[in-house]
Structure 1
Amino acid sequence: MEQFIAFGIVGLSAAAIYAIIGSGLVVTYTTTGVFNFAHGAAGMMAAFSYWQLSVGWGWPVPLALATVLLVLAPAFALLVERALRPVQQLGEAERMVMTIALLSALIALARWIWDPNKARSLPKFFADQTPIRFGDVTITWHQALTMIVAVVVALGLRVLLLRSRTGAEMRATVDDRGLVALTGADPVRANRVAWMLGTELAAIGGILIAPTIALDSTQLSLLIVSAYAAAIFGRLRSLPMTFVGAVVVGCLESYLTGYLPQNEFLPGLRLAAPALLLLVALLLFPHGQLRGRDRQLSQVPLPTVRGTLAFGGVVVAFGVVLATVLGEADLVTYGQIFAFGVIALSFVPLAGYAGQISLCQLSMAGIGAIVCARFGADGQWWALLATMVVTAIVGAVIALPALRLSGIYLALGTAAFAVILDRWIFTLPSFHIGDTEITLFDQGSVELTGPTLFGFHIDTPGETTVFAAVCLALATLAVAALRRGLLGRRLIALRDSEAAFATLGGSLLVSKVVVFAISAGIAGLGGALYGMQLQSVTADQFNFIAGLSIFLIAVLGGLGAVGTGLWTGTLLAGPFNAIVALWPKTQNLVHVVPGLAGFAFGAQAVQHGGISLMRSRWDAALRDRLVMTVLGVWSVLLWVLRLLDMVNGYVFFAGLVAGALGAMWWGQARHRPAAGEAVEAEIPVEWWGVRRPWRAEDEEVLDRAIATRG
């Protein structure tokens, strides 16, 4: 009994921290409509900043706390509020990507500033004071302080929200921002207060929990999973129920630590318990109307057959060029472009067409790597087909509980699934089900080799690179064909309105299962190709945080564009690796750039899509045969010079970039409208087909415009 009470006190201490962090998350979401995935990272940065001031620089504890909580945290909150204000009326994926970008940036920034290889620890508050004893039960002053702060936060939030004008403005903003403005209140001020309050609570929680665990950027940031579970208990609205959920999560973690049997299969279960509880809460609790459902949906491009075939040829040619101009060591690094591209392409049918937000695609890729390693150990060609089938089945299974989830709830559910795989399933040793042995990563790594096709074994980095490029090209053609077909139109209708889709006879069950299966199958193929390129992969390479980076870049490119695969793979494995190769000291800085860029420019990029913006600049050149012929000749000439070793690799790629930019500018100059000539973008809809040729995609544009206005 004494041990039970002792573990209960530890659990309540952790619950108090989860309640503080979770209440900040709920306040921010219910006031602004933005679900802040970077909420835990804000607490992590506060903990590191407090360590730097109090331990690193020797500041007095009160001064360090005042600086973090009264200066740094509010300033950070105001910066985030200002940056996120333009995206509040966009779609859910677009709003999420900003906070995901911030999460990635803060983790990379922390690892850059504070070397992760150096151990750091924060002393507990009042560590030199005699603990409080109740019989045989001991409570440290740090635990007591944590519980007291949680009670003060609960009372303070109740007074603020129910007994103050600011609280009334915040609650009113949740219901109708426009109506609040008409009454003389200021919704922007309410948003600022919410962001400041939420960030303050995240900072308090991060500082309180940091002394009980190691100061690690990823671990502290992912503590938010426990706060997610607590917030879901309150259905992202109720602060009292959020506190109840925090108690459940904290006590569950503590009692699992104390009473979980000691064997090789269960240690990861305690780490995955918050994610499991989050998933169960999402599936069992009813969910109300999501904030911000009046989203502005972007148009899904309709790829042409000719354009898609040309793009597929460019992808394969790109793979051949890399395989012939780079050495084997460089190919292991840059050849990942095509594997990452296939994984990123899996977002297009799922999120781009069907509007189903998934944050576990890299986990699906991990499953694909495992399956391919087990079935294709001797180069069996059919292992890739088996990989796609098995991962598709897993994706279909995920789709079944996802039927009652949408938007933020679906994103949280798939995130929970990814964390469960990271912390538990992927860490399991080999086990048996009946007479069948099941081996995952087996607490180590798995070895992969290329397939044998038509008697030819693909085993060198160059051959694997070309093979991966061909797979990306074929997958891109398949996704484009899906968009042009009946299923693609059904998925877009599902994205536009699930209720309308079901009313008109569409099956939500069949459509969601099919699109989840297709997406998971593509991601599984990408995971197998990634493993072949590296020849050996570990579970850590398919973790949840790494998957967020892929999602971030894919959204910035445009989830509906079939070129998203090549865009994402190129950005992830191309220029950033080249910069690090040239200047090794920039490694940590390079990891910060994608997140900061997404946060800084995401509002414009996610609304229009980076690929769409690039296509608009290239459109004139792509339609001009002379320009493209000259560019092709220039590229081939550079390639031949590189093969003859007359230029080095840097000159070769610099020449390609220069030629591409020159072709773009030349095409724009050749097709610049003359003075007085009507610009196509300014031609009214009623003159389409008269003042400019009618296009196949115009019918869909008109149908969407009529439906929106109606």
Structure 2
Amino acid sequence: MEQFLAFGIVGLSTAAIYAVIGSGLVLTYVTTGVFNFAHGAAGMLAAFAYWQLSAGWGWPVPVALAVVLLVLAPAFGLFVERVLLRPVQHLGEVERMVMMVALLSGLIAAARWIWNPNEARPLPVFFADRAPLRAGPVTITWHQALTMAVAVVAAVGLWALLNRTRTGAEMRATVDDRALAGLTGADPVRANRVAWILGTQLAAAGGILIAPAVALDARQLSLLIVSAYTAAIFGRLRSLPLTFLGAVVVGCLESYLTGYLPQNAYLPGLRLAAPALLLFAALLLFPHRRLRGRDRRLAPVPAPSARGALVFAASVAALGAVLATVLQGKDLITLGPLLPLGIVALSYVPLAGYAGQISLCQLSMAGIGAVVWAHLGAGGQPWALVVAVLVSALVGALVALPALRLSGVYLALGTAAFTVVLDRWIFTLPSFDVLGVRISMFDQGSLEVSGPSLLGLRLDGERELMVLSAVCLALVSLGVAVLRRGRFGRRLIALRDSEAAYATLGGNLLAARVAVFALAAGIAGFGGALYGMQLRTITAEQFSLVAGLPIFLIAVIGGLGYVGNGLFSGTAFVGPNILLGLASWTQNVVAVLPALAGMGLGHSPDGLVPRLRREWEPVARDRVVLPAVLCVLALAWLLRIADAVNGWLLLAGALAGALALRGWAAARRGAAAEPEIPVEWWGVRRPWRAEDGEVLARGIARG
């Protein structure tokens, strides 16, 4: 009994921290309608800042706490509200969520840049020199007592603020109808500002309180927010008492699993994955009200032409052949994952771009494909690649089944929870048998991966794998284009536009969701198998939630509705790694770039791929400039093959020549540009185009 009470006290003290962090999360959501995925990362950054001031620079603890909680945390909250969120306030829920995911990824990368992750930074508990309090058989440290007191004060203060003050009324009214709240005399900007300041302060307090109990690690502290997510979902993102109840459930569950979980090789990861499992269960079991601030901004998804899709696929295959011939040594190894990760990013196009289903577990699906190929394709058997795709698709379908009733932020949370379960438990399991079949994951270490054998040839070198990946990306891109032009693609677009209307008109929501999740997971698993071939050795950490966030961000930045997004995402994600060969310090810069690009989403919410397409379209349509561009690129390639120029000179020369010719094409087109034709004269004053019908239909629907 004494041991049970001791674990209960530990669980309650941990629950108090989760309650403080979760209440801040609920506060910002109730007030602004933005689910702050970076809430835990803000607490992580505050814990590092507190360590730097108190332990690193020797400041007195009260002064360090005052600076972090009263200066740095409010300043950070104001920065998020003013610089990041206010410019995208008019955009949809997905765009604001992406901004928060970008902030989460960026804060983790920035913390690892500033504070070397290989150095230990112990943080002492508060009042460590005082004797613990005793209540019968129970011992309570002063740090635990302080934690519980902070949770109680936070709960009472937030309830009084939201329900007994004018500021609280303004904060709750702003998210329901920002314009109407302004007409009644409220100040929506001030309400949002107060919410972000208080929410960030609560995250900072929680991060500082929990840091002494865990390693001061950027990733680990940021992912502790999963437990606070669970507490907030218990409160259905609006009730502070239920949020505190959820925190107690999560904290005690973790504590009792630590004390009473049987000791064997299969269960240690269960304790780490328990909050994510509980989050997934809460999402499925608890009723959810309409998402606060759930406005939708639906961008058109143009259908690619057959000719354009074929030309693009041929260009991707040619690019792979060029890269395989001009790259050498470490550059070839560095850029090898470019095309396989492009396939993984392309899986977001049918799933999120066409069907509107948000998923944060695509890199985990890629990990499943890589594991299956590593175990079954060691001899290079091509059928093992098919099995890897099918197994990944099956797992994707299984994820879709329980996630049928989730959407928006809830679906993102559900897929993130699934990824955390894979990271912390499933991928760490040793081999086991199911119905006589031996199942293996990463064997608690790393896996060796080799290339396939096709037509009697062993494709195991970097150049062969580069060409194979290019051909595969070209074929998958062509398949996604055909999907968009076909009946199923149109059904997915209708599903994204309105699930209710889709079901009313006879569509099967379950079948459509399962099919698109399975398709996207199969594509990701295919890319993951090719990614493993390029890496040669794979570990579970390479397919974690944190590793997948930058790929998701770049895919969103590229434009989720465009087939060219796969090549763009792979290039944008892997391409900057070439800088690592010039200077090792650029590693941190490269890690921060996806997050910075994601934070700039408000300046180009439709994506960069359509912008690039518009900029280069004059070149593709000009019968004089296009051959000139091709000749310049071919000449640069031949010079590199002849070893007359190095790789950097080749890149600079080819880029400069292509940009100059693009400017020439734009000037030629501008001189011969026809005046804009009103929509009512399409087909009369100019020829009718294939995309005009869809443009008119969407215009009528919006009207």
Normalising by the residue count of structure 1, what TM-score does the alignment of the two structures yield? 0.97
What's the CA shift for 1:418?
0.2
Letter in 2 for 1:178: A
Question: What one-letter code is carried by the residue in structure 1 that aligns with 2:690?
Answer: A
Q: Deviations over 1:565-592 (max 9, x none)?
A: 1011001111x21222112222212211
Task: Tell me what 2:596 maps to.
Answer: 596
Q: Kindly, what percent of the aligned residue pairs are identical?
A: 68
- Cα distance, 1:318 vs. partner? 1.0
In the alignment, residue 30 of structure 1 is paired with which amino acid?
V
**8 A contact 1:328–1:462 mirrored in 2:** no
**Is the 8 Å Cα contact of residues 89 and 296 (structure 1) preserved in structure 2?**
no
Residue in 2 aligned with 1:127? Answer: 128
Describe the superposition over 1:501-548 as per-residue Cα deviations: whole angstroms up to 9, x where unpaired: 000111101100110010000000010000001111111100001111
Q: How does 1:609-648 map to 2 (within 5 A)?
A: 609-648=607-646
Letter in 1 for 2:41: A
Aligned partner of 1:305 in structure 2 is 306
Deviating more after overlay: 244-253 vs 74-83: 74-83
Summarize deviations over 1:226-276 as a string: whole Å, max 9, x none: 000000001111111011000000000000000001111111000000000
Give matches, 1:110-509, under 5 Å.
110-509=111-510
1 CA distance for matches of 2:590 and 2:376?
Answer: 37
1:433 deviates by 1.6
Rounded Cα–Cα distance in structure 2 between residues aligned with 1:658 and 1:236: 52
Query: What is the distance in 1 between the residues matched to 2:574 and 2:675?
Result: 38
Matched residues in 1 for 2:397 and 2:127: separation? Answer: 52
Matched, 1:688 2:682: yes
Contact 2:334 2:578 in 1 (8 A): no
Question: What is the distance in 1 between the residues matched to 2:279 and 2:178?
Answer: 30
In 1, the alpha carbon distance for the partners of 2:434 and 2:593 equals: 45
Cα deviation for residue 499 of structure 1 reads 0.3
Report if aligned partners of 1:233, 1:245 keep a CA contact under 8 Å in 2: yes
Does 2:571 correspond to 1:580?
no
Is the CA contact 1:673–1:679 (under 8 Å) kept in the aligned structure 2?
no
Query: SS of the residue aligned with 2:447?
Result: strand
Please state whether the residue corresponding to 2:134 is helix, strand or coil.
strand
How far the C-alpha of 1:296 sits from its partner, in A, is 1.4
Alpha-carbon deviations, 1:466-485, whole Å to 9, x = none?
00010000000000000000
Corresponding letter in the other structure for 2:697? D
Superposition deviation, residue 314 in structure 1: 1.1
**Structure 2 residue identity aligned to 1:438:** I
How far apart, CA to CA, are the structure 2 residues paired with 1:187 and 1:694? 47
Change (3 A) 1:684 1:78: farther
Residues 635-684 of structure 1: CA distance to partner in whole angstroms, max 9, x if unpaired? Answer: 1111111111000111111122112212221111111146xx7654xx43
> C-alpha separation between the residues in 2 aligned to 1:532 and 1:678?
50
Q: Report the more deviating stretch, 451-460 or 501-510.
A: 451-460
- Paired residues of 1:316 and 1:469 also in contact (CA < 8 A): yes
Task: Show the counterpart of 1:699.
Answer: 693
User: Any conservation in 2 of the 1:322–1:335 contact (CA below 8 Å)?
Assistant: no
Instruction: For 1:80-99, list aligned pairs within 5 A.
Output: 80-82=80-82, 83-99=84-100
CA apart distance, 1:328: 4.0
- Structure 2's unaligned 5+ residue stretches are none
Range 163-172 or range 586-595, more displaced: 586-595
**Does residue 61 of the first structure (1) align with residue 61 of the second (2)?**
yes
Q: Distance in 2 between matches of 1:588 and 1:13?
A: 35
Name the residue aligned to 1:77. 77
Partner of 1:49: 49
Q: Which moved more, 1:353-362 or 1:449-458?
A: 449-458
Q: Distance in 1 between matches of 2:320 and 2:336?
A: 8
2: distance between equivalents of 1:594 and 1:539? 22
- Letter of the aligned partner of 1:227 in structure 2? A
Q: 2: CA distance between counterparts of 1:689 and 1:91?
A: 34
Q: Which residue of 1 aligns with 2:653?
A: 655
Q: Structure 1 stretch 286-295 or stretch 72-81: which is displaced more? A: 286-295
- Give 1:455 shift: 1.2
CA distance in 1, matches of 2:686, 2:549: 42
The one-letter code matched in structure 2 to 1:254 is S
2:109 is equivalent to residue 108 of structure 1: yes
**In the alignment, residue 503 of structure 2 is paired with which amino acid?**
A
* Distance in 2 (alpha carbons) for counterparts of 1:692 and 1:107: 53
Q: Deviations over 1:266-324 (max 9, x none)?
A: 11000000000000000101111112332111111211111111111111111111111
Instruction: In structure 1, give the amino acid aligned to 2:610.
Output: S
d(CA) in 2 for partners of 1:381 and 1:548? 30
Q: Whole-Å Cα distance in 1 between the matches of residues 60 and 145 of structure 2?
A: 22
Q: CA deviation at 1:92?
A: 3.0
Residue 534 of structure 2: aligned partner: 533
Distance, in Å, in 2 between the alignment partners of 1:648 and 1:103 is 38
Q: Contact (CA 8 Å) 2:373, 2:384: kept in 1 or not?
A: yes
Letter of the 1:645 counterpart = D
Cα distance in 1 for residues equivalent to 2:303 and 2:171? 42
Asked if structure 2 preserves the Cα contact closer than 8 Å seen for 1:348 and 1:561, the reply is yes
Deviates more, 1:390-399 or 1:347-356: 390-399
Offset of 1:685 from its aligned partner? 2.3
Stretch deviating more after TM superposition (444-453 or 279-288)? 444-453
SS at match of 1:584: coil
Distance 1:318 1:381 in 2: 24
The residue type equivalent to 1:73 in the other structure is A
Counterpart amino acid of 2:466? T
Instruction: Quote the residue 2:8 is aligned against.
Output: 8
Q: Aligned partner of 1:274: which letter?
A: P
Instruction: For residue 528 of structure 2, give the secondary structure of its aligned residue in structure 1.
Output: helix
C-alpha distance in structure 2 between counterparts of 1:328 and 1:350, whole Å? 36
Q: Counterparts of 2:326 and 2:617 in 1: how far apart (Å)?
A: 29
How many aligned positions are there?
702
Give the C-alpha shift of residue 336 in structure 1: 0.6
For residue 22 of structure 1, report the CA deviation from its aligned partner.
0.6
CA contact (8 A) 2:6 2:138 kept: yes
Between the aligned partners of 1:271 and 1:482, the Cα distance in structure 2 is 40
> CA-atom RMSD, angstroms?
1.2
Matched AA of 2:602: A
- Residue 329 (structure 1) shift: 3.0
Q: Is the 8 A contact 2:343 2:476 kept in 1?
A: yes
In 2, Cα distance between the equivalents of 1:279 and 1:89? 30
- Show structure 1 runs of 5+ residues with no match: none
Looking at structure 1, the residues matched to 120 and 686 of structure 2 have their Cα atoms a distance apart, in angstroms, of: 66
Task: Confirm whether residue 39 of structure 1 aligns to residue 33 of structure 2.
Answer: no
Distance 1:6 1:673 in 2: 81
How much has 1:43 moved relative to structure 2? 0.5
